Amino acid sequence: MHASDLTEDQIDIAAAVREFAAECLAPYAVEWDQTKHFPVDVLRKAADLGLAGVYVREEAGGSGLSRQDGVVAFEALAGGCPSIAAYLSIHNMVGWMVDRHGTEEQRARWLPALCSAEHLGSYCLTEPGAGSDAAAITTRAVRAGDHWVLDGVKQFVSGAGAARVYLVMARTGEPGARGISAFLVDRDDPGLSFGPNERKMGWNAQPTRQVLLDGVRLPADRLLGGEGEGFRIAMAGLDGGRLGIAACSLGGAQSALERTTAHLADREAFGARLLHAQALQFRLADMATELEAARALLWRAAAALDRGDPRAPQLCAMAKRHATDTGFEVANQALQLHGGYGYLTEYGIEKTVRDLRVHQILEGTNEIMRVIVARGLIGAA
């Protein structure tokens, strides 16, 4: 990111978050990955900087920042550890959804603890049999007097088990998107349990588990938004979530590029520093160019979402697809330019490659991003 493109406030945000990432994330990122440690204490330190309630209004304990501010912050944070930054992006998606769609009572009850990271949040949409076709979920919520009773299984839930607040999409009515509602579930609610920790290629510093709902009985005030509005709420949350994941991809890849430049400056082959080889300079130039192009699209999409542009969902999908593809490719190139050292755990490059690979899948696969963009084109034609 270049300071000339940022406001003074954004420059300050980037500097503060970059310092935090360098001090509190980067030195420990490889160890957390290797030991599969979820550093909840560090997430609470991040909350002290306002990073656990980025988009939540200030009166509810949040930072009240824009989406443009947010992508600057998450890119800077991911330079320290993409896995932790990405989890915080998901946590912030949950907080925003409660702030945007909750009643005053719900906001007062749930948001202060989310914004302080005393309580962590998880987003529960995907199911074992419903991933890209999210409108086909089968988890059910049945009205029983002044309660709802939830039954079903959610898959690939980031933070599951450690999180306290679960934003669960469940079917309350007809098949398809219009029959889905959103619910706030507490970890202590009877009937809620979790599958074993998934063993994954990357993102090892955050837990991923199934969320199992077996007759979870919720008071009526746990419904978020109106009955049948859950799918719309879920998709609105994902517009912002896609920006966050895109920013995390850029942050991880930018860090890999910077480490690669330093590595090539230190290494010699055939009597000259590797950094002086024009072929390698050109590789670095292409990596930097692709990151800048992705960043420009991401910032444009964030600005569109901030101003309520009708094209924002398409632009968010474009930015997510392009930035996550670019981030992975740049990180993979960085590994190649490190030679054998890139394959060693201690250098941290292979971890970045593994972490960024899943960004092309979650928050809507990049194939689904193309579907969203194409629908916008066809609808506009």
pLDDT in tens, 313-370: 999 999 999 999 999 999 999 999 999 999 999 999 999 999 999 999 999 999 999 9
Report which residue type is found at 175.
Answer: P
Tokens of residue 64, six digits: 């009240």
Chain centroid to CA 39 = 17
Q: Is the pLDDT confidence value at 1 over 70? A: no
Chain centroid to CA 53 = 14
Helix (H) or strand (E) holding 251: helix 230-266
pLDDT in tens, 118-160: 999 999 999 999 999 999 999 999 999 999 999 999 999 999 9
Q: Is the pLDDT confidence value at 380 over 90? A: no
pLDDT in tens, 72-127: 999 999 999 999 999 999 999 999 999 999 999 999 999 999 999 999 999 999 99
pLDDT at site 5: 81
pLDDT in tens, 8-45: 999 999 999 999 999 999 999 999 999 999 999 999 99
* Those residues with Cβ within 8 angstroms of residue 102's Cβ, 6 or more apart along the chain or in another chain: 110, 111, 224, 225
Q: Is the pLDDT confidence value at 246 over 80? A: yes
Q: Is the pLDDT confidence value at 224 over 90? A: yes
pLDDT in tens, 266-302: 999 999 999 999 999 999 999 999 999 999 999 999 9
pLDDT at site 2: 58
Pairing of strands 121-124, 165-171: parallel
Task: Let me know if 363 is a catalytic residue.
Answer: yes
HSE of 352, CA atoms in CB hemisphere, 13 A: 35
The whole-model pTM stands at 0.96
pLDDT at site 3: 57
Q: Which of 127, 290, 350, 363 is catalytic?
A: 363
Percent residues over pLDDT 70 in the chain = 98
pLDDT in tens, 182-214: 999 999 999 999 999 999 999 999 999 999 999
Q: Is the pLDDT confidence value at 50 over 60? A: yes
Tokens of residue 156, six digits: 């690939």
Reference 248, options 79, 96, 365; nearest CA is: 79
Average pLDDT, the chain: 97
> What is the rounded average pLDDT of the residues 369-376?
96
CA dist 153 and 191 (Å) reads 12
CA dist 43 and 375 (Å) reads 38
Please say whether the dihedral angle defined by the alpha carbons of residues 160, 360, 306 and 378, taken in this order, is positive or negative: negative
Report which residue type is found at 338.
Answer: H
pLDDT at site 379: 85
